[in-house]
Amino acid sequence: MSLVEVRNLHKRFGTLEVLRGVDLTVEPGEVVVFVGPSGCGKSTLLRCLCGLEMPTEGEVVVGGVPVRDEAKALQALHRRVGMVFQRFHLFPHLSALDNVTLAPRKVLGMPDAEAEALGRRMLEMVHLGEKAGAWPEQLSGGQQQRVAIARALAMKPEVMLFDEPTSALDPELVGEVLEVMRELAREGMTMCVVTHEMGFAEDVAHRVLFMDGGKVVEEGAPQQVLREPKQPRTREFLSRLL
Ligand code: ADP
Ligand code: MG
């Protein structure tokens, strides 16, 4: 069984049909990159994978468990799926370390000393070991985003979702975040990434999916989709990125 299975996923907001029948499977250790024009449903798809949105129709299964609109099931899902957003959403009144240890302590009931050791390890992983005591406002955008990644990793997720994690960053800070994501991929983390960073997609993704109008229009190896797209819509989108 695949780690993530999406079958015939439809999502409507009122009369607006944002996802129009998405099928997707993600295998353990796989890095899947989603590209496509603004408004095509990429964020909505990721939000369905972590239970922030419920399918209108169709099914989302993570680790063999169907995503259901039920508090216990959602709590369990949130432990298994890590999400990193464009805006980092750190708690401004908590230090970097406390941002990372909050969920392990509150959600998993981890003792303080154990959570602190875990938090420090996670901050080391994103190369911010020395910033444990810093407040978010004392950190650059790139550092804040790396804390957000550490915070998600602290829950030991089975899959990590990244929704345009570098889009809000100054250009000189993009590289440090992509590097951390590269390292995660190298360590075998299963990842679904929405990004416009085509260099990252080409180097790191096992598979690239091009979405348009709420559907997956084309998918394949990065070199194929990004260099030799078959679909006219993919070609048009990529030509506009250059
Ligand atoms: P993308 O991430 O590809 O830019 P989104 O998934 O964010 O696209 O949005 C797809 C469409 O769904 C957009 O037209 C957006 O305005 C709409 N949309 C997203 N979330 C909601 C919501 N909660 N309520 C109403 N419309 C929404
Ligand atoms: Mg989006």
**Residue range 65-71: mean pLDDT, rounded:** 90
pLDDT at 108: 92
Percentage of the residues of the chain whose pLDDT score is greater than 70: 100
Q: How far is CA 199 from CA 53, 126, 173, in A?
A: 30, 20, 15
pLDDT at 241: 84
Which residue's CA is minimally distant from atom 15 of ligand 1? 39
**Residue range 5-14: mean pLDDT, rounded:** 98
**Which residues approach ligand 1 with their CB closer than 6 A?**
13, 16, 18, 36, 38-44
Q: Report the atom number in ligand 1 closest to the C-alpha of 40.
A: 3
Distance CA 119, CA 39 (A): 35
Overall pTM > 0.95: yes
**Residue range 192-218: mean pLDDT, rounded:** 97
pLDDT at 156: 96
Which ligand has an atom closest to residue 210 CA?
1
What separation in Å is there between the alpha carbon of 61 and the centre of ligand 2? Answer: 22
Q: Quick check: 75 pLDDT over 90?
A: no
Complex ipTM over 0.95: yes
pLDDT at 25: 98
Q: Quick check: 242 pLDDT over 80?
A: no
pLDDT at 1: 83
User: In the numeric block, which tokens belong to residue 32?
Assistant: 């899947």
Please list the alpha-helical segments (H only) found in the chain.
42-49, 71-80, 96-106, 112-125, 141-153, 171-186, 198-204, 222, 232-241
Q: Which of 45, 55, 17 has the alpha carbon at shortest distance from 193?
A: 45
61 neighbors 4 (Cβ within 8 angstroms): yes
Q: What is the pLDDT of residues 84-103, one digit of tens each?
A: 999 989 999 999 999 999 99
pLDDT at 118: 98
What separation in Å is there between the alpha carbon of 41 and the centre of ligand 2? Answer: 7
Mean of the per-residue pLDDT values of the chain:
96
Q: What is the pLDDT of residues 217-226, one digit of tens each?
A: 999 999 999 9
**Residue range 136-158: mean pLDDT, rounded:** 98
Q: What is the pLDDT of residues 47-59, one digit of tens each?
A: 999 999 999 999 9
The C-alpha R_g of the chain, in whole angstroms, comes to 18
Q: What is the pLDDT of residues 16-51, one digit of tens each?
A: 999 999 999 999 999 999 999 999 999 999 999 999
